[in-house]
Amino acid sequence: MDTALERQGSGLIREADILIIGGGLSGTMLAAQLLRLPGRRKVLIVEPRSELGRGEAYSAVELGHTLNGNAARMSVDPDNADDLTQWLTAFIEAGGWPESDQQHVPISELFPPRGIFGLYVQQRLAEARELGTQNGSTAEHVRGEAVDLRLADDAVMVTLADGQVLRGGFAVLATGMFPAARTPQTESSGLNAAALDPWDVAAMRQLDPQATVLIIGSGLTMVDAVVSLEQAGHRGPIEVFSRHGLLPHVRRQPPAWQDFLAEDHSLRSPRQLMRALREQCRQAQAQGIDWQAPLDTVRAHIGRLWNQASDVQRRQFVRHVRPWWESHHHRSPPLSAELVARLHGEGRLRIQAASFKGLVESAEEALGIRICRRGEAGTTVVQGAALINSSGIEYDWRRVARPLPQQLLARGLIQPGPLALGIAARADGAVLDAEGNPADRLFAMGPPLRGMWWESTAVTDVASQAKALAGRLAELQVLASG
């Protein structure tokens, strides 16, 4: 394909073989895999941030905001589980991250800061770019926000917020996650307009250190918010409200456990899985082994179990099991968990099982929220000096008030995924339109495929998807050129 700028009407169109919409972990890893493959291709990565490889998850700059998985679990190379451990070893030996010795564990068990993990992703992309030059392949960052997308018989046209138009043979929706705390919603309660960003330490420094802070949600984003408050010098009460009042467990490093799901494929429903998992955990504890050991073996089978489940079974899991699954499986890094436990023990942090029902008018220097405590029929108004929305990720694209998701839905180019989690696609990532037809030139990977695989956000999942999709796109490119 000609890589020169072409003029069409009054606008300029930039040509590429493959357009990647999103330059966080998903888009960056896909680009890296494409650059490593034989063949010549031009890749354009559309990303509004100044850097690739960070996205929402790895743009944090505070050392206290760490990964919730240790280095041995977070490799971006699907063929080398020790890739991050090896990179960290060289990085630390070269003088990077001197604070790493505070964790007092081997490098494979370290929980790196997200900002440092972002550097690792960027270096792997840089190395892939060097390999790509040998075949004449390139990957260029186009800084901007994609606001519209149209499909033609032989191409995909993507329009950016500044009016620029990109034309590619294929396009991939690698949009990553839409954190509820940072995502405008089509039916907004006004929560985000009134709330502090969970990761904005600078804004938290403006608070009275003794002021009461209210937090909605008790998952890993809440843990990050508490870390941010601590680093900002906050020493006042923290009131946490979530529907079930569950805190993430601390992540430990248990010994290996037999993969019981690999041995028994008859376990298919959420109820069967939970019954078997509880029995495995009881067996482990009877042997003096951490219950997290059996739980961690489930990770490799989640995609298969979720994909083969019926909609009724999936709905049962989301409604009845999900809160406990999230708190047990998506566990907190040790240092962050220690902080939360200490503040809870001191009585400074309280967690209550209560649902957020909306904002209320309050005194000039206070915020009021209306909550309904679990088991109570009426609502209660709670006041504080500041509010943080830590309610996690918004996966329902119908509720994300951003131009591209709204345009794709309006054009009928996508449809919600199972249970409105992300968008629908085939197993190879080809996006399904409103009528269920697979696109020939539009694909998706990572968090947008949450409804297909449930756990489609973890680093290892994204890395595996990136490799598979890169191979598929390379095949299609050859077919299209032939």
Q: Between 457 and 238, name the one with better pLDDT.
A: 238
Residue 10's pLDDT band, with cuts at 50, 70 and 90, is: very low
* Distance separating alpha carbons of residues 124 and 120, to the nearest angstrom: 6
pLDDT, residue 2, reads 35
pLDDT, residue 337, reads 94
Residue 41 maps to a domain = yes
Contacts of 176 (CB under 8 A, 6+ apart): 22, 24, 25, 26, 27, 55, 56, 57, 446, 447
- Contact present, 15 and 3 (Cβ < 8 Å): yes
Is pLDDT above 50 for 461? yes
The region, left, alpha or beta by phi > 0 then psi within -120 to 50, assigned to residue 58 is alpha
Question: Looking at the structure, do residues 188 and 233 belong to the same domain, yes or no?
Answer: yes
Question: Looking at the structure, do residues 466 and 406 belong to the same domain, yes or no?
Answer: yes
Q: Which helix (H) or strand (E) holds 127?
A: helix 114-133
Is pLDDT above 60 for 6? no
Q: Between 298 and 139, name the one with better pLDDT.
A: 139
Contacts of 153 (CB under 8 A, 6+ apart): none
pLDDT, residue 58, reads 85
Question: Looking at the structure, do residues 59 and 152 belong to the same domain, yes or no?
Answer: yes
Q: What is the mean pLDDT of residues 93-106?
A: 91
pLDDT, residue 185, reads 62
* Distance separating alpha carbons of residues 425 and 389, to the nearest angstrom: 30
The number of C-alpha atoms within 13 Å of 277 and in the hemisphere containing its C-beta is 24
Cα→Cα distances 339→61, 149, 211, 433, Å: 19, 45, 19, 46
* Distance separating alpha carbons of residues 366 and 87, to the nearest angstrom: 47
Residue 150 maps to a domain = yes
Residue 235 maps to a domain = yes
3-state secondary structure of 349: strand
Ranking 106-110, 358-362, 466-470 by mean pLDDT, the lowest is 358-362
Q: What is the DSSP string of 201-247?
A: HHHHTTS-TT--EEEE--SHHHHHHHHHHHHTT--S-EEEEESS-PP
Residue 253's pLDDT band, with cuts at 50, 70 and 90, is: confident
Question: Looking at the structure, do residues 10 and 46 belong to the same domain, yes or no?
Answer: yes
Q: What is the mean pLDDT of residues 82-94?
A: 97
Q: Which helix (H) or strand (E) holds 169?
A: strand 165-173
Is pLDDT above 60 for 37? yes
Question: Looking at the structure, do residues 51 and 134 belong to the same domain, yes or no?
Answer: yes
In CATH, what number is assigned to the domain containing residue 155? 3.50.50.60
Q: Between 64 and 6, name the one with better pLDDT.
A: 64
Question: Looking at the structure, do residues 163 and 277 belong to the same domain, yes or no?
Answer: no
Q: What is the mean pLDDT of residues 167-183?
A: 89
Question: Looking at the structure, do residues 314 and 350 belong to the same domain, yes or no?
Answer: no
Q: Which of 272, 291, 320 is the last residue of a domain?
A: 320
**Tens digit of each residue's pLDDT (9 = 90 or more) over 254-285:** 999 999 998 777 877 777 888 899 999 999 99
Ranking 305-309, 346-350, 354-358, 445-449 by mean pLDDT, the lowest is 305-309
* Distance separating alpha carbons of residues 250 and 311, to the nearest angstrom: 31
Task: Identify the CA nearest to 386 among candidates 248, 234, 183.
Answer: 234
Residue 104 maps to a domain = no
Q: What angle do CA 192, 194, 196 make, to 5 degrees?
A: 75
Is pLDDT above 80 for 229? yes
* Distance separating alpha carbons of residues 399 and 406, to the nearest angstrom: 9
DSSP secondary structure code for residue 174 in this structure: -
Residue 237 maps to a domain = yes
* Distance separating alpha carbons of residues 56 and 79, to the nearest angstrom: 25
Residue 189's pLDDT band, with cuts at 50, 70 and 90, is: low
Question: Looking at the structure, do residues 40 and 147 belong to the same domain, yes or no?
Answer: yes
Residue 103 maps to a domain = no
Report the percentage of the chain scoring pLDDT > 70.
Answer: 95
Q: What is the mean pLDDT of residues 94-113?
A: 92
Strands 386-389 and 367-373, sheet pairing: unpaired
Q: Between 351 and 392, name the one with better pLDDT.
A: 351
- The pTM of the full predicted model, rounded to 2 decimals, is 0.91
* Distance separating alpha carbons of residues 67 and 83, to the nearest angstrom: 16
**Tens digit of each residue's pLDDT (9 = 90 or more) over 355-382:** 999 888 776 667 889 999 998 999 999 9
Question: Looking at the structure, do residues 403 and 369 belong to the same domain, yes or no?
Answer: no
Q: Which of 297, 320, 343 is the last residue of a domain?
A: 320
Is pLDDT above 90 for 7? no
Residue 72's pLDDT band, with cuts at 50, 70 and 90, is: very high
Residue 143's pLDDT band, with cuts at 50, 70 and 90, is: very high
pLDDT, residue 187, reads 55
Q: What is the mean pLDDT of residues 47-76?
A: 90
* Distance separating alpha carbons of residues 257 and 290, to the nearest angstrom: 10
Q: Give me the chain's average pLDDT, please.
A: 91
Is pLDDT above 80 for 183? no
Provide the residue type at 435 as one letter: E
DSSP secondary structure code for residue 162 in this structure: T
**Tens digit of each residue's pLDDT (9 = 90 or more) over 430-446:** 999 999 999 999 999 99
* Distance separating alpha carbons of residues 330 and 89, to the nearest angstrom: 26
Beta bridge partners of 388: 196, 215
Is pLDDT above 50 for 177? yes
Q: Which of 299, 320, 341 is the last residue of a domain?
A: 320
Question: Looking at the structure, do residues 161 and 186 belong to the same domain, yes or no?
Answer: no
Task: Identify the CA nearest to 39 among candidates 478, 360, 479.
Answer: 478
Contacts of 268 (CB under 8 A, 6+ apart): 305, 308, 309, 313
Residue 78 maps to a domain = no
Token pair for residue 38?
């034989």
Say which residue the tokens 């899985």 belong to: 273
Judged on CB neighbours under 10 Å (0-12, 13-18, 19+), 98 is exposed
* Distance separating alpha carbons of residues 430 and 441, to the nearest angstrom: 8
Question: Looking at the structure, do residues 190 and 211 belong to the same domain, yes or no?
Answer: yes
The total of other beta-carbon atoms located within 10 Å of residue 278's CB is 12
Say which residue the tokens 């000096």 belong to: 385
Question: Looking at the structure, do residues 240 and 312 belong to the same domain, yes or no?
Answer: no
DSSP secondary structure code for residue 269 in this structure: S
Residue 95 maps to a domain = no
Residue 282's domain comprises 260-320
Give me the number of domains the chain comprises.
3
